[in-house]
Amino acid sequence: MSTTSPAQYQLFVDGAYVDGTGPDSYEVRSPATGEVVGTIPLPSAADLDAAVKAANEAQAKWARVNVWERAKVCHRIGDELAKRVDELARLQTLEQGKPLAESVADIEEAAQLFHLHAEDAVRLHGETMPSTIGNKRMFTYHAPVGTWGIITPWNFPLLMLAEFVAPGLATGNAHVVKPPANTPLTVLRAMEAFVAAGLPEGLVNIVAGEGATGDALVRHDGIDAIGFIGSSATGAKIQAAAGLKRSIMECSGNGPLVVLADADLDAAAKAAVYGAQLCSGQVCCATERVVVHQDAHDGFVEAVLRAAADVVLGDPFAGTTNLGPLNNEGVAAKMDRHMADARERGAQILVGGGRRSGQPTDLYYEFTVIDDVPVDSLVSREESFGPVVPIITGANDDELLRIANDDKLGLQGAVFTQNMTAAFRFMEEMAVGQVVVNDSTCFWDINMPFGGAGNRGTGWGRIGGKHTLLDMSDLRTGVISL
């Protein structure tokens, strides 16, 4: 896991790697090793202006390119990313901390997204509709919005860039991306694939930086729309700054996994553990709360403890590891705070509950299972973003549904039951954007629309399949007089 001296990275503007014009830079430190693995220039206002200018000029030309030609470029980007899976996955694990196998899957999926959205774009059809006036003909078509400012999180740095940039390019948009300050290296290295694929200069620009860079990007007059994935608190600030700019906002989740009395308890337990283990629980749809029918409680807890025994915390580059360190001290401190609150409120920590000593950094957090969790505890009320399975018990289906909907961060939820009527009830009445039946809250498919429910603090718009292309396009209407 040891590295050599930290690499000096650059910004990516107008199709080339460039030095920042500002005086400042910052270091990226590996949560896995503790080493500094890269130095990044902080972009100046002039750097951001240059990126936006390049994007605007490139987008004006790209919008006139035939959709079939845009699709060909997207396919080539997917191919070039696929050639670099091993290199990019190792870099991502070094800067992010997730097990190498997860990073490989992330990069492969990012490549796949460019192929998927290339195919989506050539099938993005308008429609004709009859007019009430006899000599009028009306039809709709999809036009690009313009230049998108994209702000992505540190848990899936390249994959979540691809979730915006692939459909954005396919529909004729340009992008200025602020990758997360903690994990910008994989994104910057991946731009080599975009250049090799022949992407026209200026369509994707990377200005790595911290919060001030993101704020300046959102407020920039040359940015037409905002794409954001991250916390609800940050999302609210972005929206306040963005005003009436078009936006896609995918924010925090605290969706529950509900276990009914007739559930397959082994399957539910494995799904709960997977949802807390994936990316060390640093996922917006992680197993943040498990709401269990009292008749299933004891059997479920036993099954969870069996499944948790297979979690191996350690070196994310080791083949036996399936749980890496947390990415940063902020999320680790939040886990500490949630554990302390759970103990004070009388919850029973059955497994884990703290940081593991003797590791290269202080970010290796033990896989944790908590029983008898009060509904008003922090681990229930807030998005923990760590490797924890909090178990809450309810007396009947009505109470389970009430507890499931008691939190405002309804992004994605799950329900385990053998009863199809009960499954449909929870699908229709859980206040989340997606309900997964008999699988993890972390279930994801690149062709499924993913996003929050109304009035739940989880944002709007959809990531996945044709729905992202629709959200990144303007629906235009033409009216012709005969």
Angle, in degrees to the nearest 10, between helices 397-404 and 420-429:
30
* 176: amino acid identity, one letter: V
Active-site residue (options: 102, 109, 163, 250): 250
CB-based contact 211:233 (threshold 8 Å): no
Tokens in use for 365? Answer: 């957090």
CA dist., res. 36 & res. 3, Å (int)? 9
CA dist., res. 277 & res. 329, Å (int)? 18
Cα 432 to chain centroid distance, Å, stands at 16
CA dist., res. 167 & res. 465, Å (int)? 9
256 phi and psi, to 5 degrees?
Answer: -90, 160
Among candidate residues 185, 256, 171, the one with its CA nearest the CA of residue 469:
171
CA dist., res. 197 & res. 267, Å (int)? 43
Is residue 284 annotated as part of the catalytic site, yes or no? yes
Q: In degrees, to the nearest 5, what angle opens at C-alpha 150 toward C-alphas 149 and 151?
A: 125
* 89: amino acid identity, one letter: A
Residue with tokens 């290295």: 189
Inter-CA distances, 449 with 52, 64, 262, 441, 465, Å: 29, 28, 29, 14, 6
Which residues does 473 contact at the CB level (< 8 Å), separation at least 6?
124, 142, 143, 144, 145, 171
Which residues does 189 contact at the CB level (< 8 Å), separation at least 6?
84, 87, 88, 91
CB-based contact 465:447 (threshold 8 Å): yes
Strand-pair partners of 313: 323
Which residues does 342 contact at the CB level (< 8 Å), separation at least 6?
349, 370, 373, 377, 378, 379, 390
CA dist., res. 227 & res. 325, Å (int)? 28
The H or E element containing residue 475 is: strand 473-481
Which residues does 244 contact at the CB level (< 8 Å), separation at least 6?
none
CA dist., res. 117 & res. 73, Å (int)? 11
Strand-pair partners of 436: 414
CA dist., res. 482 & res. 476, Å (int)? 20
Active-site residue (options: 74, 251, 284, 285): 284
CB atoms within 10 A of CB 334: 18
List the catalytic residues: 250, 284
